[in-house]
């Protein structure tokens, strides 16, 4: 299973096996878990850095608390690989993020040790508070622990949850895994000692006595007693933003000192702590990574790599990916237009804006994990004449939808949404799938939506978007490489809402949107080989779409197949409504749509996901033949 010697880890099949270990062996166990995780991820690729940083914390949590009865919620799920190794899934780790294998995130259907599924950040405290309320209502006594990273704490949802839980004085443990930015004093012996003190029975009893005494004195003396209680909290370092929200604040503590972690967790488990508690745990993201050089992102996500040398295995390719093409074009556009700015929500490298920032450091704004703020922030810019390009993954744009509707669309502001990872996303699976944006954007009045079919089209569309000021717009493109087409020397400004015909036939018309053109061309080639004459058209724009083109395709073909990499309710739904209202459905043309199946598509490679979704070339060919058969039958029945 592993290239490393893991004698302690090899003994652990259940939580009872873990808890039977002497505490003195937990340091060795943590080292073995870290080595085991590195070995597995070297074969599968995946999120490496966050998990390496929480190995000791994971060991301590499962060693001390009675999981799964005690609930541990891992925010986002990037850091859950050690958790999976210790909770009965070690033998499946080589299937991580592979078709039919383990999810790269926590997943309720995968294990009873995953009480809450994750994929997006900043949800763990809200979920944990909900679990704590349910526990109290059902008169159970289990613990609820939410582990959240410092980056995820930049999202407002985390503070909304803390404000609610603090006001309710619910028994909830929040562990802040601080692995990047410094938000408190450095870890030291005094801080470690005080962290133990604040969770111990003597200190908790002191707090209880002070509270009881304060309630029995007249108002003037009561204020003095309360001040004494407040001063006691300040002495032990607990007075902070978090304590103002009603949480007992503990730390910072060393997140790699497993002995200290176990002692603290035992105090939290067995002590008289009441109400919500926040433990500030300082860790090193990527701790123990095998790579030779440091990394700005501490190996957040990596491809397969050599576990000995650390050399990453990346297939050689000269084809640019869509993200890099977007970034290069935005740099050129920003060179010539002082009004162009860019906004991202904690994804500068993922969206390519890190490159733009190097060229234009004052024009790129990273607002942290705060998509709602990002959208309205850009709206404010647009009111003052700037041209904001908001680069957000499709799956994360969902988090800013209310702001997109209320603050951008209703006011018809020219904010340009650059939607990366649109469509199916491979190994990240359903939680990160960008399949809903066409449906939730197409329903908005005044929204212009363009979908490039290849990297050359993306270049033209970037030029078009830079000059589009009539209202909000969205440019969506997929994860990964382009098609290797010849890139244009001079970008063109495209006519809004105008599609194009790539080849003409008489029997079947395939109208494709975006990168599904590649599957459409594969299907057309097979159909042509079987004697079926096929027209291939590229819609280019989902909204407004080319009504004249659609009308012509319906009036001149036996069948029309509309293809999009989107959930039902998107481009094709609006096209069919148009066709029905214009009486085009009575023209004798058999019309079908091929969208992503009305389901959540699990993690797999792109070919596997397209097949599961029912929109790969093989499915298109089968659908086309069925359509033409129906069309012929209808013609034969006609008087």
Per DSSP, the residues of 183-243 read -SPPP-HHHHHHHHHHTSHHHHHHHHHHHHHHHHS-HHHHHHHHHHHHHHHHHTT--SHHH
> What's the token pair of residue 492?
């063109």
pLDDT at residue 230, rounded to an integer: 53
Residue written as token pair 């029309």: 560
pTM over 0.75: yes
pLDDT at residue 501, rounded to an integer: 98
Lowest mean pLDDT among 119-123, 335-339, 611-615: 119-123
Estimate to the nearest angstrom the gap between the alpha carbon of 17 and the chain centroid.
Answer: 34
For the chain, what is the mean pLDDT?
87
Q: What is the rounded distance in angstroms from the CA atom of residue 523 to the CA atom of residue 510?
A: 9
| DSSP per residue, 496-528 | TT--EEEE--SSEEEEE-GGGHHHHHHHHHHHH
Q: What is the rounded distance in angstroms from the CA atom of residue 172 to the CA atom of residue 128?
A: 7
pLDDT at residue 185, rounded to an integer: 45
174: nearest Cα among 70, 249, 63, 258: 249
Which residues lie across from 305 on neighbouring strands?
312
Cα→Cα distances 195→147, 153, 383, Å: 18, 21, 49
Res 534 pLDDT > 60? yes
pLDDT at residue 55, rounded to an integer: 95
Q: What is the rounded distance in angstroms from the CA atom of residue 11 to the CA atom of residue 18?
A: 8
Rounded to 5 degrees, φ, ψ at 294 are: -70, 160
Catalytic residues: 285, 371, 399
Residue written as token pair 């007693």: 225
Determine which helix (DSSP H) or strand (DSSP E) holds 166, and give its type and residue range.
helix 156-168
Domains (ranges, CATH) in the chain?
A: 9-282 (3.40.50.970), 322-476 (3.40.50.970), 500-637 (3.40.50.920)
For the stretch 191-235, pLDDT in tens is 555 566 556 666 555 555 555 555 555 555 555 555 555 544 444
Annotate 526-594 with three-state secondary structure.
HHHHCCCCEEEEECCEEECCCHHHHHHHHHHCCEEEEECCCCCCCHHHHHHHHHHHCCHHHCCCEEEEE
Lowest mean pLDDT among 186-195, 300-309, 607-616: 186-195
- Cα dihedral sign for 179, 180, 184, 188? positive
Percentage, residues of the chain above pLDDT 90: 65
pLDDT at residue 606, rounded to an integer: 92
- The Cβ-side half-sphere exposure at 327, using a 13 Å CA radius, reads 22
Cα→Cα distances 467→172, 335, 414, 460, 462, Å: 51, 14, 10, 11, 9
For the stretch 491-509, pLDDT in tens is 999 999 999 999 999 999 9
For the stretch 27-65, pLDDT in tens is 999 999 999 988 888 878 877 878 898 999 999 999 999
pLDDT at residue 436, rounded to an integer: 95
pLDDT at residue 393, rounded to an integer: 96
For the stretch 236-291, pLDDT in tens is 444 467 888 889 988 889 999 999 999 999 999 987 677 999 999 988 887 877 76
Percentage, residues of the chain above pLDDT 70: 84
Res 306 pLDDT > 80? no
pLDDT at residue 387, rounded to an integer: 98
């Amino acid at each position: 299973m592993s290239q490393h010697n893991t004698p302690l880890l090899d003994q652990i099949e259940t939580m009872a096996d873990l808890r039977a270990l002497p505490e003195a062996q937990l340091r060795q166990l943590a080292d073995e878990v870290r080595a085991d995780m590195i070995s597995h991820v070297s074969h599968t690729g995946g999120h490496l850095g966050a998990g390496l940083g929480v190995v000791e914390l994971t060991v301590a949590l499962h060693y001390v608390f009675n999981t799964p009865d005690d609930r541990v919620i891992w925010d986002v799920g990037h850091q859950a690989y050690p958790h999976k190794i210790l909770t009965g899934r070690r033998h499946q780790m080589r299937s991580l993020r592979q078709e039919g294998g383990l999810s790269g995130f926590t997943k309720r259907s995968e294990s009873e040790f995953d009480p809450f599924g994750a994929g997006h950040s900043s949800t763990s405290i809200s979920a944990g508070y909900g679990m704590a309320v349910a526990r109290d209502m059902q008169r159970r006594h289990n613990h609820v622990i939410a582990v959240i990273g410092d980056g995820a704490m930049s999202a407002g949802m985390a503070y909304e949850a803390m404000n609610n839980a603090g006001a309710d004085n619910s028994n909830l443990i929040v562990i802040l895994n601080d692995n990047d930015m410094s938000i408190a004093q450095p870890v030291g012996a005094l801080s470690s000692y005080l962290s133990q003190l604040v969770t111990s029975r003597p200190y908790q009893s002191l707090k209880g006595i002070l509270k009881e005494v304060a309630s029995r004195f007249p108002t003037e003396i009561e204020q003095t007693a309360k001040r004494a209680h407040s001063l006691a909290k300040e002495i032990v370092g607990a007075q902070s933003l978090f304590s103002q929200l009603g949480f007992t604040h503990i730390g910072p503590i060393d997140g790699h000192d497993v002995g200290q972690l176990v002692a603290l967790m035992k105090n939290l488990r067995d002590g008289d702590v009441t109400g919500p508690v926040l433990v500030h745990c300082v860790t090193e993201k990527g701790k123990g990574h095998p790579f030779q050089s440091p990394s700005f992102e501490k190996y957040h996500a990596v491809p397969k790599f050599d576990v000995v040398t650390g050399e990453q295995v990346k297939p050689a390719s000269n084809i640019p990916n869509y993200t890099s093409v977007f970034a290069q074009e935005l740099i050129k556009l920003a060179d010539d237009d002082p009004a162009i700015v860019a906004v991202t929500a904690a994804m500068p490298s993922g969206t390519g804006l890190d490159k733009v920032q190097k060229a234009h450091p004052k024009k790129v704004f990273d607002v942290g994990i705060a998509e709602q703020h990002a959208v309205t922030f850009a709206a404010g810019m647009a009111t003052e004449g700037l041209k904001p390009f908001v680069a957000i993954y499709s799956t994360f744009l969902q988090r800013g939808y209310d702001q997109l509707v209320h603050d951008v669309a209703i006011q018809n502001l020219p904010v340009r949404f650059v939607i990366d990872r649109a469509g199916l996303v491979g190994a990240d699976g359903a939680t990160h799938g960008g399949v809903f944006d066409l449906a939730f954007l197409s329903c908005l009045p005044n929204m212009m939506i363009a979908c490039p079919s290849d990297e050359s089209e993306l270049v033209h569309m970037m030029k078009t978007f830079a000059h589009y000021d009539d209202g909000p717009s969205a440019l969506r493109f997929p994860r990964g490489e382009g098609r290797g087409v010849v890139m244009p020397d001079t970008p063109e400004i495209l006519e809004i809402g105008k599609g194009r015909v790539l080849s003409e036939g008489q029997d079947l018309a395939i109208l494709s949107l975006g990168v599904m053109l590649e599957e459409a061309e594969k299907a057309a080639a097979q159909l042509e080989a079987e004697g079926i004459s096929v027209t291939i058209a590229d819609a280019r724009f989902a909204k407004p779409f080319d009504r004249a083109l659609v009308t012509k395709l319906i009036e001149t073909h036996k069948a029309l197949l509309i293809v999009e990499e989107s959930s039902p309710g998107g481009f094709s739904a609006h096209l069919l409504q148009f066709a029905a209202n214009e009486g085009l459905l009575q023209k004798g043309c058999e019309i079908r749509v091929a969208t992503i199946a009305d389901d959540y598509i699990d993690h797999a490679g792109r070919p596997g996901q397209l097949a599961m979704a029912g929109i790969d070339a093989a499915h298109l060919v089968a659908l086309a033949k069925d359509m033409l058969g129906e069309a012929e039958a209808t013609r034969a029945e006609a008087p």
